Structure 1
Amino acid sequence: MTDRRTLTLTDPRAIRVLAHEVRQQLLDELSGGTVLTATEAAKRCGITPSAMSYHLRAMERWGLVERVDSADGREHPWKLVADSIKIDDAASAGITASVANSLLGTFVRRLSRTVEEMIERNDPDEHATIVQLGGVYLTDDEVQELDRIVDEAVHRWEDRHDPANAPEGARRRDIYWLNLPRA
């Protein structure tokens, strides 16, 4: 496994940048070291290249993405600056309820859409894996350990973000992980 870098967001304004569906989809599209031009990213996200350029520049201002040198110097590809993004506890305390709801709401809508599309395809060879726990009591250290275990498990296949690295018969899978405290 390669050394991975985690970007920790400490400014609530940086979190607001992520509370947009296109930007969250863009994070997914750029994951695993994928490098895309604004035009390529726009195609994947279903928006215009000029709109994508706007989103990329907004994310660049907060240090989430950066430009990459291109082979011919004409294209302007982009990549994520880190393999994972963490929100600092103090920063999350500084966001408004509407930003938190937008951030989580976008995540939940994407999850819902993925499940609905799978159901509509009605493919007997497709299988979803769903794990649900009603809740467990964990110390802060145990929460960090659980997050680390899940992170390591998922990144075991970090080279598989690029379809060129997928073995024959592999299907793209969306992986969602939430570890939320309850009162």
Structure 2
Amino acid sequence: MDRMTERRTLTLTDPRAIRVLAHAARQQLLDEFSRADTLTATEAAALCGISPSAMSYHLRAMERWGLVERAESTDGRERPWRRAADSIQIANGSKITADVANSMMSTFIDRIQRTLQAAIDRDDHATIAQVGSVYLTDAEAKELDELVHDAMNRFDDRHVERTAPAGARRRDLYWLNLPRP
């Protein structure tokens, strides 16, 4: 089924778990968790622009598939949540329907477009954008994914503002390694 590796990567194999990720609010929630160690349903709802009851529904749905988990409360009253893994990958051979894949990708692409448009509006352009195509074996593609993962892990302590060095700016990082027909 789904498993955690030593790098705290959750590998999804069940199409139902993958379908949970196809919702825009859930994808945004995972992004918000990358900025905060924990969030209550009320805090997460405010960040995602939905009601606390709707957010509670999404959190419970994501908990069922191991995407999020309850965190320890500091005061006994609040019920905080956190990401269950640092990254999520979808296993090869997972039977994803076209509508789920399209929903996941359109939400992802919409987010990139909004981020890019905001940077353009601020006249604050991206550092680098690179698109290319190469022929790789499956082993080489996996090696490249691991290199990117390791490079990003160099900055693992920088997910929240309080741990960032002076002068650091929040940046969105995107990595896709997609096989072509």
Q: Cα–Cα, structure 1 residues 29 and 7, in superposed 2: closer, same or farther, change >3 Å?
A: same
**Helix, strand or coil for the counterpart of 1:66?**
strand
Give how far 1:127 is off.
3.9
Question: Is the Cα contact below 8 Å between 1:32 and 1:158 reproduced in 2?
Answer: no
**Residue 109 of structure 2: aligned partner:** 108
Q: Structure 2: which amino acid aligns with 1:150?
A: V
Residue 176 of structure 1, aligned match among 152, 157, 174? 174
Paired residues of 1:32 and 1:83 also in contact (CA < 8 A): no
Which amino acid in 2 is paired with 1:111?
I
Q: Considering only aligned residues, what root-mean-square deviation do their CA atoms show, in Å? A: 1.5
Which stretches in structure 1 are left out of the alignment for 5+ residues?
A: none
Match of 2:58 in 1: 55
Alpha-carbon distance in 2 for matches of 1:66, 1:139: 36
Match for residue 20 of structure 1 among 19, 23, 34: 23
Among 82, 106, 119, which residue is 2:85 paired with? 82
Deviation at 1:71, TM superposition (A): 1.6
Moved over 6 A (4+): none
Q: Normalising by structure 1, report the TM-score.
A: 0.91
1:36 pairs with one of 39, 42, 59: 39
* Residue of structure 1 equivalent to 2:71: 68
d(CA) in 1 for partners of 2:150 and 2:105? Answer: 23
The alpha-carbon distance between structure 1 residues 33 and 148, as it changes in their structure 2 partners (threshold 3 A), is farther
Give the aligned residue type for 1:34.
Answer: D
Query: Relative contact order: is structure 1 or structure 2 higher (C-alpha 8 Å, sep ≥ 6)?
Result: 1
Q: TM-score, normalised by structure 2?
A: 0.92
Say if 2:67 and 2:84, in contact at 8 Å, map to a contact too: yes
Question: 1:34 & 1:51 partners in 2: Cα distance?
Answer: 21
Please show how residues 128-147 of structure 1 align to structure 2 within 5 Å.
128-147=126-145
SS across alignment from 1:90: coil
What is the percent sequence identity of the aligned residues? 66
2:165 to 141, 147, 167: 167
Q: CA deviation at 1:62?
A: 0.9
Residue in 2 aligned with 1:155? 153
CA contact 2:23–2:103 (8 Å) conserved in 1: yes
Looking at structure 1, the residues matched to 132 and 161 of structure 2 have their Cα atoms a distance apart, in angstroms, of: 35
Gaps of 5+ in 2: 1-5
Give how far 1:33 is off: 6.9
CA distance in 1, matches of 2:127, 2:142: 23
Instruction: Compute the displacement of 1:102 (Å).
Output: 0.3
Conserved 8 A contact 2:21-2:27: yes
Q: What's the CA shift for 1:133?
A: 3.6
State the distance in 2 between where 1:152 and 1:31 align: 17
